[in-house]
Structure 1
């Protein structure tokens, strides 16, 4: 169940934390630790100046989404279990645990995640750019953050190098509590 909290960390806004099962709460806490480590990691901090001034405020979110693509791309470098197997097992867990998740927003996110096969889609860079576009469209004020896609396209290799330097630190964090490990 910890995996549920990890995966739904971005959908937990407004959820009463005391309503979560302890294992889901642990996963959410882990998600937040991963986000904090990522945001503060020197490799990621050094990426933000690569973004244009008007996209820099959104750079962290765009980088985080692009890192999902890079994880899929480099999965075999980090894990023995094939990505397709991990995805299949994760979807089964999510489907079987949906009733444990409080709030219709989170249950809806779970359904969409599995029925639309988000994790497999993240292997496609074009899909990741569409995910960024959707994230930008949910911002309630007028912005030009969509240009962050161009920033990523122009700096792909530097961003990929930063991910490859960061991910082992994230794995070490996960190893400190094996229940949170990805694979």
Structure 2
């Protein structure tokens, strides 16, 4: 899953949120350099990614992007799913997404001394340009895909991937609605089994 999903699936627990957001920038045993709560967030992020990558719905859905981006299909599917999450009224009732994203920026901003260097360089742009809220817009998804292309090897143009997104948006949305409730159940059970109980945990 992409940034918005990882933020949402942190259940408003600050250190869990930080770990979940920085995990892709923490390699190997470096995760043990962080406080326990952030380590748990890093582990949660990796559990989410493993569940997502292995799910049959996503194995099929990422093929939509394969002609455009080859082996990067899963990363582009993650961005597409953030679009559908941002528009999901069960996750974000009308008008609540901007409040949530501002809470995320403010919360993780209090832990900047724990940011890996690469995430520290990205964070000001994410906050100032409000990447998390912009996933609700198709232009926001296009910009996010352009960012993936800039960071990826062997890719030069995001347009084929965005065209695939637009041409198959109904199929991708159906995949999201089949997959995300199962992901939420998985993460809820993971939370209960591996993390400290909290009033913020979904029932």
Whether the aligned pair in 1 keeps the contact of 2:131 and 2:140 (CA below 8 Å) is: no
Q: Using the TM superposition, give the Cα deviation of residue 55 of structure 1 relative to its aligned residue in structure 2, in angstroms.
A: 2.5
Corresponding residue for residue 96 of structure 1: 110
Aligned-residue Cα RMSD (Å) equals: 2.6
Q: Using the TM superposition, give the Cα deviation of residue 68 of structure 1 relative to its aligned residue in structure 2, in angstroms.
A: 1.1
1:151 to 164, 174, 179: 164
Q: Using the TM superposition, give the Cα deviation of residue 36 of structure 1 relative to its aligned residue in structure 2, in angstroms.
A: 1.3
Q: Quick one: structure 1 residues 66 and 142, their matched pair in 2 at CA, closer, same or farther if it must change by over 3 Å?
A: closer
Corresponding residue for residue 50 of structure 1: 64
Task: Name which structure has the greater RCO, CA cutoff 8 Å, separation 6+.
Answer: 1
Rounded to whole Å, the distance in 1 between the matches of 2:117 and 2:158 is 29
Corresponding residue for residue 175 of structure 1: 188
Number of corresponding residues: 181
Q: Quick one: structure 1 residues 83 and 22, their matched pair in 2 at CA, closer, same or farther if it must change by over 3 Å?
A: same
Gaps of 5+ in 2: 1-14
Rounded to whole Å, the distance in 2 between the matches of 1:107 and 1:48 is 30
2:33 to 10, 15, 19: 19
Q: What SS does structure 2 have at the residue aligned with 1:141?
A: coil
Corresponding residue for residue 127 of structure 1: 140
Gaps of 5+ in 1: none
- Correspondence 1:136 to 2:181: no
Corresponding residue for residue 179 of structure 2: 166
Q: Using the TM superposition, give the Cα deviation of residue 112 of structure 1 relative to its aligned residue in structure 2, in angstroms.
A: 2.5
- Scaled by the length of structure 1, the TM-score of the pair is 0.85
